Chain A
Amino acid sequence: MIETNDLAVLLETLCPMFVLVNEEGRITCIGPTLQKLRPDQPMAGKCFLDVFELLRPRSVTTIAGLMSLAGGKLHLKFHDAPRTALKGLIAPLPHGKGAVINLSFGISILDAVRDYALTSADFSGTDLAIELLYLVEAKSAAMEASRSLNLRLQGAMLAAEEQAFTDILTGLKNRRAMDVFLGHLVTGNSPFALMHLDLDFFKSVNDRYGHAAGDYVLQQAARIMVEETRGDDTVARIGGDEFVIIFKDLSDEAVLSAVAERLIDRLKTPMVFEGNRCRISASIGTALSTQFSRPDPAKVLHAADMALYEAKRKGRSCHCLFSALEGSGQERTAPATSSE
């Protein structure tokens, strides 16, 4: 049978964080790395449970209890600070002569290496501690590089969204695109008609059947508007349920009224989403750029807005021309925005 001293020498090589305790639970021998954690307090001679607090299993408070845990996993902490957490495994020696307890840092290794200035020489050659430390540093560096890339990509994405001209939900143009397009028309002196369309009862569809139904209705409405207009007309979604249609080189109010009526007819037809009949309708106001001696986008938009307001006032599912409003005559137009 191997002598205790020989055993200690063997353990020093294989597991530098071992503890040898005698049958009374007193420390007889301790591995060099473990002793390095308390350089000024030799542990040999002390009672194991006076140096270490057993956290798990909690029920065990006596040496006899500790000895009965052969092969089981222990969770320990130093009684004094720094209260480094340790994992342990206990193996009783034959004939009740005490036990070997092998300790390791577990996840506390990162702090331990710093707190106790440990070096590679403090770990056994088969211990994966150094590989773990390497991996933590390497992964942190790689993660840092990825994070900085993510931040830059996020910035680029926001910039791209800012510059985008498309409404993602419907595929129509967005408000920004409409502003740019109106600007071009005015600068190029092209006559145009502008329809402002507001969906009626959209909010109640959203409330009753949920956002998915609302999104579906918006998409169907968008499809109808595209179908009922010419290829070079511009259809834009400029708000939740607000749309603007720009008809380039069209000033015929009869044609525009016919288009508006068709749009309202089709939008009134219930749309079925997941078995629910979603009923909406539309109110439309139309203005012509030619109604202004010096048209600017804001004026034409405002005129269409007033016509839309009138359409709503008359009840839903109506179309109203700006020219039909009282007081829409030349140069008394659009009083709210006109500064002339």
Chain B
Amino acid sequence: MGQTKQETNLGLFMHGLINRAIQSFVCATYGQSCWLRVTEVAELGFVEFEAMLVYDDDRTARVLDALCTRLNRPRAEILEDLGTYLVSHPNMEDLRRLLRFGGVTYVEFLHSLDDLSDRVRLAVSDLNLPELELRELTPTEYQLHCHPGLPGYSSVMVGVLRAMADDYGTLAILSHDGQKGTAEAISIVLVESAFTEGRHFDLGARKS
């Protein structure tokens, strides 16, 4: 997922959940055969990532490289689609629900992102996601700083934020806002907070 070299060197291991998310995204979007080809080209030596194991982060990089080559698309674009998939695909309903616990409104959700990495660690103690920091510029303009640790994270987050805006029924404009110190910034502009009804979130809709 890396833009720069030193970023890829930060983590030696990539959690299986992240690898599994990529696998699930590729299979659901481009089909099983595409995934099998990617694992071959990336010389994984297997075709299924296990969500609860950790892997050498080099494997993840090779999978993404193979995917970019095969789809002939830039990595950032693919990662944005991955972010959207994580929230909007029926496969990922569990994850969408967990994110919706962040708040009753999109703005509350944005503020909850400051705690996202802690919340994730509470659920899966060895999954370390980079810190996120929301800056409120005006009540309708925000900047999300993605701190380093997981190359490409900000691209995934753009996709996640866009899909979550849809989920809450908020019309928002999202864009990359360049580098702020060591962090990558995402700009979020809210155009209308009750644009559509959004998707339903029932607090008690547990799986039995």
Q: Is the CB of B203 within 8 A of A118?
A: yes
Report if A145-B204 is in contact (Cβ < 8 Å); known contacts: A121-B104, A137-B94: no
* In the bound complex, CA of A11 to CA of B96 (Å): 34
A120 and B122 within 8 A (CB): no
Partner of B122, one of A117, A130, A138: A138
Instruction: Provide the main secondary structure of the chain B interface.
Output: loop
- Determine the chain A residues whose CB is within 8 A of the CB of B50 once the complex forms: 149, 152
- A145 & B51 in contact (Cβ 8 Å cutoff): yes
Nearest-CB residue, chain B, relative to A135: B122
Where chain A touches its partner, the secondary structure class is helix
With A119-B104, A121-B104 in contact, do A137 and B206 touch (Cβ < 8 Å)? Answer: yes
**Per-position 1/0 for B112-153, Cβ under 8 A of A:** 000000010011100000000000000000000000000000
A128 touches B (CB below 8 Å): no
Complex contacts, A130 vs chain B, CB 8 Å: 101, 203
Q: Determine the interface band of chain B, counting residues with CB < 8 A from chain A.
A: 20 to 34
CB-defined contacts of A148 to chain B, threshold 8 Å = 51
B100-115 to A contact mask, C-beta < 8 Å, 1/0: 0101100000000000
Contacts of B53 in A (CB 8 A): 149
Q: Mark A126-137, 1 if CB is under 8 A from B, else 0.
A: 000010011111
Are A117 and B123 within 8 A (Cβ)?
no
Given contacts A134-B101, A149-B50, contact A141 B123 (CB under 8 A): yes
Interface: B28 (CB within 8 A): no
Q: Tell me which residues from 169 to 208 in chain B have a Cβ below 8 Å from any Cβ of chain A.
A: 202-207
Establish whether residues A118 and B204, one from each chain, have CB atoms under 8 Å apart when the complex forms.
yes
A113→B104 CA distance, assembly (Å):
15
Chain B residues within an 8 Å CB radius of A152: 50
Would you call A114 and B204 a contact (CB within 8 A)? Answer: yes
Complex Cα spacing A140 to B124, Å: 11
Could you tell me if A149 and B207 are in contact, using CB atoms closer than 8 angstroms?
Answer: no
Do the beta carbons of B203 and A133 come within 8 Å of each other?
Answer: yes
Q: Is A73 an interface residue (CB 8 A)?
A: no
Complex interface bits, B2-29 against A, C-beta within 8 A gives 1, otherwise 0: 0000000000000001000000000000
Shortest distance from the beta carbon of B167 to any chain A beta carbon, whole Å: 15
Q: Which residue of A lies closest to B123 (CB)?
A: A138
Interface residue from A114, A119, A142 paired with B123 (Cβ < 8 Å): A142
Return chain B residues, CB-CB under 8 Å to A269. none
Tell whether, in the assembled complex, residue B204 and residue A134 are in contact, meaning their CB atoms are under 8 Å apart. no
Smallest distance from the beta carbon of B45 to chain A beta carbons, Å? 15
The 7 nearest A-B residue pairs measured at CB = A114-B204, A138-B123, A113-B204, A134-B101, A145-B51, A149-B52, A141-B94
Binding site for A on B (CB under 8 A): 17, 50-53, 94-95, 97-98, 101, 103-104, 119, 122-124, 202-207
